[in-house]
Structure 1
Amino acid sequence: MKYISTRGKSPKLNFSEVLLTGLAPDGGLYLPETYPRFSDEDLSHMRSMSYQDLAFFIFQKFIDDVPADNLKAIVNKAYASDVYSFGRLEQKAEDITPTLKLKDNLFLLSLSNGPTLAFKDIAMQFLGHMFEYVLDKNGESLNILGATSGDTGPAAEYAMRGKKGVRVFMLSPHSTMSPFQAAQMYSLMDDNIFNIAIKGVFDDCQDIVKAVSNDLSFKDKYKIGAVNSINWGRILAQIVYYFKGYFDVTSNNREKVDFTVPTGNFGNICAGHIAREMGLPINHLIVATNENDVLDEFFRTGNYEPRSSEETFQTSSPSMDISKASNFERFIFDLLGRDSNLLRQYWGNIDKGGSFKLDDTSFQKIKNYGFISSSSKHINRIDFIRSVYNDFNTIIDTHTADGIKAALDHIKNIPMLVLETALPIKFEKSVFEAIGVYPERPFELKDLELMDQRFEVFNSDTEQVKNFIINNS
């Protein structure tokens, strides 16, 4: 299996090379040359697998440069049941991503039982072990540079803390995350973890990561890697739970399902798109946005117009406060028939702060990929947290509430799975506003915000971040 850049001007790489490279040298994102396709017989075989076996079966289709025994060991460590011991008491940790039925045809795919209580753990635990394996095998080290709007950062740092050969430099928007999210990151004192709070919004952080990654001489000299969902390894790991969720709510491979995905950087739902391309019988992929509804506007009109930092709202679902979705480029590449020349024309405008509008033919092709969308506001989140609690005795977080709202906007007479973003304790203030009680915390996290914190505060300045990496490498 070889990987190509969406922009068509970088060499083909194998999986381990893509893992360490992150952003392609031409500024594009890596994707497999072709997507493997599962037959009905394959799906029947996969249906009874454990999560670990399912992940191994899927990963083997994409990773052919890691011996099977080593890959199996990595998968078993990443998805050990004791790593996923938080979450709802009635669910079994060995399920890794249990499915909770709310009512007929409406399900919650629980993705937040990992160590940082967010869906990002599912991919990050795999990446942490895979990074350590590849770096040790090659005798190399890596400086991981990432950006977070709230959940990627903690998940990456908990997965990478103490790992040999890895240092993590994580950028986050200053004073916009929930206190719980900030405390998860900033309370880590491991020698290989560095937190940098940027005066700005998530898009400013993401722009710095891309600027550093596009400085090829600096990237090479200081061994800069990526842990954001621009890294293909993140997308690959997220494909698995679409298959797991599908098998949980269907009895045969002729049934179709819908998935609703709270969407910020488009990585999570991009994994769903790829699962669909691999033969999973997905009817619709519903993009759920908040007030930062650039993607909702695109899927309704074909016009993609990212907003400036000043035009990006700070909301009660902060992990979705993103106006420039990095992984969107992967989908557009497929939508355009993998025409790198056309993709570069479109993204030339985006990289310069502009926009693009699809022609009518390309816009109509969106239907072929099953995408539809919806948006919501704070009052919707509060209403849906309250109604899910009252109707189903289940507490959800604000982002998942965005997903429930979008799901109910589009639900039909087939199973609808809403992908959970995080456990509600990460957004207690909004939960309390909705239902008048705070969600119960695990004992070991009761005083998290009271722990000492360590972080730097920088302006939105690429050179300042580079100098910090130099001084701490």
Structure 2
Amino acid sequence: MTYAFKDLALSCVGQFLQYFLNKRNKHVTVLVGTAGDTGSAAIESVRGLKWIDIIVMLPKGRCTRIQELQMTTVIEDNVTVFSVDGTSDEIDGIIRKLFADTAFAKKHNLMSLNSINWCRIMVQIAHFFYAYFVCATSKLEDSLAVVEVVVPTGGAGNITAGCIARKMGLPVQLVAAVNENDILHRTVLHGDFSLAESVKASLSSAMDIQEPYNLERIFWLLSGMDSPLIKKMMEEFEKSKRLQLPAYLHKSIKDNVTSCTVSDADVIHTIRHCWDENHYLLCPHTAVAVTYHYRQSDIISKSIARCCLATASAVKFPEAVQKAGLTPEVTTDIKMLEEKSTRFAVMKKEDEWEQILRDTVEAIAIRRES
């Protein structure tokens, strides 16, 4: 367990993979780019498994120390970790290049455990049904009444699961709560799917993403599954990194999702507020969602329940807890991370990241064949 909500989905995905790969006597190489939490959860889900090798690329200095240690202290034959002098978006770009090389991807059976993996989205749909029925039965007289679900959002995987749950008939109102990397908020508000000048480092580091790749899935789902349109849109975005959504698609998104953006100052205030009010310690990502709740508290309607999805334990983010003037929790297993040996390789800014990654995949294949 890595103290992230992604443990739930990835523990299922890892076991599904192992079961079917064992039946087919087949090996896969998993490529994962991470902004913090996904990497450690993905490693934990497949570490030591016979039919799977995993390569994780983390953005150096943009994860918390505990997040980095959860990845770099895993010393297993099937785990390779790179500390990359870049952002998570830059890392995702390199990984996409390898998957775009279909001959290379097929030869080495490449796959990902980021939320680009459909199986992760599928498992996470269950979170929304669980949240709905807990809120509906405990807060509402009418079990078919609407529940508002506030989702801390980075790569938009979890909010995609929520959109699918809505399509399945679950009566939820979705709120995408983002940090100052606000492309999703601008998309919902103005239909402006365009990159900002740079990725901003924040306390909610796992959400420091300017290209939330799952938005493509949301566009497709809410456009009436218009594949030619979405293909054309994403090709345009890939070239210019700017895109104005068609009016009908923008309206469809606004009908399904609302959004807000939250600053680090808001996060710090919310962590403190929640502790003072409930004696509950929030992680900075969860605090992004709870900030929305506090903003709405003056106008909350008794006819609707609200649920804020938690993404991780505060134990992984002592820096944010300290900024809120509180004392971080330290569990035994987290404390032990500091005493473990680490193993990782470094990708410097001037290195050829794509070639290094290709060489690593090839080396794994040679080792597997020998």
TM-score, with structure 2 as normaliser: 0.93
**CA-to-aligned-CA distance 1:238-292 (integer Å, 9 cap, x gap):** 011111111111125322100001100000111011111111111x211111110
Q: Secondary structure at the match of 1:304?
A: coil
Deviations 1:75-103 (CA, angstroms, capped at 9, x unpaired): xxxxxxxxxxxxxxxxxxxxxxxxxxxxx
Contact 1:253 1:281 in 2 (8 A): no
The aligned runs of 1:169-318 (5 Å cut-off) are 169-251=55-137, 252-282=142-172, 284-307=173-196, 311-318=198-205
- Choose 360-369 or 129-138, whichever is displaced more: 360-369
Tell me how far 1:360 sits from its aligned partner: 2.5
Write out aligned runs for 1:411-450 (5 A).
412-413=300-301, 414-439=304-329, 441-450=330-339
RMSD of Structure 2 on Structure 1 (CA): 1.3
1:466 corresponds, among 353, 358, 369, to 358
| SS of residue in 2 equivalent to 1:250 | helix
- Gapped runs of 5+ residues in structure 1? 1-114
Residues 35 and 59 in structure 2, CA contact (< 8 A), matched pair in contact too: yes
**1:197 alignment partner, SS class:** strand
Which of these residues, 348, 353, 358, is aligned with residue 235 of structure 2? 348
Q: Does the CA-based 8 Å contact 1:286-1:407 persist in structure 2?
A: no
1:145-184 mapped onto 2 (5 Å cutoff): 145-184=31-70
SS class of match (1:396): coil
What is the deviation of 1:410?
A: 4.3
When the two structures are superposed, what TM-score results if normalisation uses the length of structure 1? Answer: 0.73
1:306·1:355 contact (CA, 8 Å) conserved in 2?
Answer: yes
* Deviation sequence 1:139-186 (CA, Å, 0-9, x none): 100000111100000001001011120000011111210000000000
Residues 182 and 261, structure 2, Cα contact 8 Å, conserved in 1: yes
Between 335-344 and 153-162, report the one with greater CA deviation: 335-344
SS in 1 for 2:211: coil
Tell me the SS of whatever aligns to 2:267.
helix
Which residue does the alignment assign to 2:368?
Answer: none
Distance 1:352 1:133 in 2: 40
Letter in 2 for 1:339: D
Letter matched to residue 350 of structure 1: F
Shift, 1:350, TM fit: 1.9
Structure 1 position 353, deviation (Å): 4.1
Letter in 2 for 1:214: A
Amino acid aligned to 1:217: A
Write the deviation string for residues 83-141 of structure 1: whole angstroms up to 9, x where unpaired.
xxxxxxxxxxxxxxxxxxxxxxxxxxxxxxxx100011011000110000110111100
The structural deviation recorded for 1:458 is 1.2
Shift of 1:349: 1.7
The letter for the 1-side match of 2:314 is P
1:128 and 2:20 matched: no
CA distance in 2, matches of 1:219, 1:407: 43
Q: Which amino acid aligns with 1:242?
A: F
SS in 2 for 1:145: strand
**Counterpart check, 1:360 vs 2:251:** no
The alignment partner of 1:407 has SS state of: helix
Structure 1, 459-468 or 425-434: larger mean CA deviation: 459-468
8 A contact 1:246–1:257 mirrored in 2: yes
Taking the aligned partners of 2:86 and 2:194, their CA distance within structure 1 comes to 20
Deviates more, 1:413-422 or 1:356-365: 356-365
* Separation (CA, whole Å) in 1 of partners of 2:35 and 2:254: 30
Q: What is the aligned partner in structure 1 of residue 295 from structure 2?
A: 409
Moved more, 118-127 or 351-360: 351-360
